């Protein structure tokens, strides 16, 4: 029975996706083993390393549909690795002992590592699609709300006005960097393995490097410069990428959660009847996607650390660190797929309340504009003195609960330089957005299609 969140019948499509589970399924992994064996036989038959008749017979049986999975499970438990169980069944399927030529010169880890490289490629394809969709959703929000003022917040306190488009463009810039990272890491991690027992390919008397090159070409993978049986930075880099990506998705979920608070109410997750309701409080509309994103990406970050632990491998073939990858890599990808799916759903249907954003800008009676006032007064009375003067007036405005503009206009040192109309312009959030719009435009212009 399924026991983990990514395989749970109830939770699996919340914390993961069917497509990503398929990538890391027993069936797909086993098929990847067979893809390696077929490629190896095809190349070695062409080079004359093994008889062409044997190559053809081996290739004919390299289908997971022909593998007895129950038998494979039992053999894996007996031996400790699944590859030999697959090779044994493949051998038995071939006629006239031609199957004895399968797996010629290879070792278990060659097959396993190459299969993982193929799975990583498929998994990254899925990630790439979701990233493109999230990028498009963020770009749409950034453009639509380019000039919509909203309170910028520092230490959870109102700071100065920004725009909601600026907020979305900031996250978009990170998503675009992740898309760039993904493109850059592919050539490093989509590399196969065919190196033999200790990595030297001593098992092949001739055409060893030609075989290696041909197998990788058949599979569409890069040819390694040297064996990487215990040099695992490539897999750890994938984990680091997923951890970084998860951090950005977590940033999205954190901001949306905070903006959904009753006292803030500036944005909401997409509405669906009953979604986010409470079992006891009928009025509630809880953040659901945000909560799932937060939980998933937190675990992915721990898995990224585990994959770095797996780098510390002994000698030419390791005694345990390798198995860390078996445990955490599939779950890291599945949880990332779930977080991506939830983030896409959230952003494509995000409900934005511009009126509430404006209302929140006004809840401090203009105090959010204190920096603008200070900078406006600076040329007349000095920036430092203006800071202290505005600070004192802000404290007084809070104490007597009056608008900042009124107290500024009544102060003789200020009114001597700026009349009420000029002060009103300084106190208008729409007039203190700096280069927010320019920065939004820059991010949108730099976005890859």
Query: How far separated are the first and last CA of the chain, in Å rounded?
Result: 43
Query: Token digits for 164?
Result: 């909601």
CB neighbour burial string for 323-358, b if at least 16 within 10 angstroms, e if fewer: ebbeebbbbbbbbbbbbbbbbbbbbeebebeeeebb
pLDDT of residue 284: 73
Provide the β-strand partners of residue 431: none
Strands 157-163 vs 267-268: parallel, antiparallel or unpaired: unpaired
Query: Which residues have a Cβ under 8 Å from the Cβ of 330 and sit 6 or more positions away?
Result: 6, 24
- DSSP annotation of 153: E
Question: Residues, the chain, total?
Answer: 449
* Contact assessment for residue 360 and residue 151, using Cβ atoms and an 8 Å cutoff: yes
Residue labelled with tokens 């030297």: 200
Residue-level pLDDT at 2: 83
- State the pLDDT at residue 221: 98
CA 325 to centroid of chain Cα atoms: 18
Q: The tokens of 363 are what? A: 């809840």
Distances from the Cα of 87 to the Cα of 20, 104, 299, 336, 388, angstroms: 26, 11, 35, 32, 79
Per-residue pLDDT at 285: 84
Nearest Cα to 172, choosing from 126, 133, 128, 124? 133
CA distances to 16, 34, 122, 187, 396 from 184, in Å: 25, 28, 16, 7, 55
Residues 6 or more apart whose Cβ sits within 8 Å of residue 302: none
| Strand, coil or helix: 80 | coil
Specify the pairing of strand 157-163 against strand 149-154.
antiparallel
Q: How many helices (H) and strands (E) does the chain have?
A: 19, 4
Active-site positions read 278, 317
The 10s digit of each residue's pLDDT in 228-241 is 999 999 999 999 99
The Cα–Cα gap between 156 and 390 comes to 22
Domains and CATH numbers, the chain: 15-106+205-224 (1.10.275.10), 119-147+163-193+228-360 (1.20.200.10), 361-446 (1.10.40.30)
Dist. CA 188–CA 117, nearest whole Å:
10
Can you give the pLDDT at residue 1? 85
Reported pTM: 0.94
| Contacts with 422 (C-beta within 8 Å, 6 or more apart), sequence order | 376
Contacts 24+ apart (CB under 8 A), 75-80: none
- Judge whether 84 and 110 are in contact, CB under 8 Å: no
Identify the pLDDT of residue 394: 94
Element of type H or E holding 203: none
Instruction: State which residues of the chain have pLDDT below 70.
Output: 276-277
Q: With beta carbons less than 8 A apart as the criterion, state whether 58 and 98 touch.
A: yes
pLDDT at 271: 85
């Amino acid at each position: 029975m399924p026991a983990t969140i990514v395989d749970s019948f109830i939770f699996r499509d919340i914390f993961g996706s069917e497509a990503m589970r398929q990538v890391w399924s027993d069936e797909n992994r086993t098929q990847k083993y067979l893809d390696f064996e077929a490629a190896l036989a095809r190349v070695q038959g062409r080079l004359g390393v093994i008889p062409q008749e044997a190559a053809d017979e081996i290739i004919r049986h390299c289908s997971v549909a022909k593998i007895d999975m129950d038998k494979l499970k039992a053999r894996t438990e007996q031996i400790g690795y699944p590859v030999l169980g697959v090779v044994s069944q493949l051998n038995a399927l071939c006629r006239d002992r031609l199957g004895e030529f399968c797996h010629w010169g290879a070792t278990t880890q060659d097959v396993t590592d190459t299969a993982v490289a193929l799975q990583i490629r498929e998994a990254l394809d899925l990630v790439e699609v979701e990233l493109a969709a999230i990028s498009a959703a963020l770009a749409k929000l950034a453009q639509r709300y380019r000039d919509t003022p909203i309170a910028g917040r520092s230490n959870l306190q109102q700071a100065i006005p920004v725009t909601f488009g600026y907020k979305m463009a900031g996250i978009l810039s990170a998503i675009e960097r992740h898309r760039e990272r993904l493109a850059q890491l592919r050539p490093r991690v989509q590399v196969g393995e065919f190196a033999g027992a200790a990595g030297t390919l001593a098992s092949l008397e001739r055409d060893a490097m030609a075989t290696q090159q041909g197998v990788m070409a058949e599979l569409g993978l890069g040819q390694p410069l040297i064996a990487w049986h215990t040099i695992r930075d490539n897999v750890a880099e994938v984990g680091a990428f997923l951890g970084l990506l998860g951090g950005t998705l977590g940033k999205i979920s954190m901001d949306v959660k905070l903006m959904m608070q009753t006292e803030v109410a500036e944005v909401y997750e997409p509405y669906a009847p009953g979604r986010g309701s409470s079992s006891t409080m009928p009025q509630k509309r809880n953040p659901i996607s945000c909560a799932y994103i937060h939980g998933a990406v937190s675990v992915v970050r721990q898995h990224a650390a585990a994959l770095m632990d797996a780098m510390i491998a002994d000698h030419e073939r390791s005694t345990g660190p390798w198995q860390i990858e078996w445990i955490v890599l599939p779950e890291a990808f599945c949880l990332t797929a779930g977080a991506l799916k939830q983030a896409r759903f959230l952003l494509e249907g995000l409900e934005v309340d511009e009126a509430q954003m404006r209302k929140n800008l006004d809840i401090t009676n203009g105090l959010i504009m204190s920096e603008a006032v200070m900078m406006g007064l600076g040329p007349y009375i000095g920036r430092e003195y203006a800071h202290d003067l505005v600070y004192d007036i802000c404290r007084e405005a809070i104490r007597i609960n009056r608008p900042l503009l009124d107290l500024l206009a009544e102060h003789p040192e200020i009114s001597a330089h700026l009349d009420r109309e000029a002060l009103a312009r300084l106190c208008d959030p729409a007039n203190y957005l700096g280069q927010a719009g320019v920065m939004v435009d820059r991010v949108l212009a730099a976005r890859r299609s």
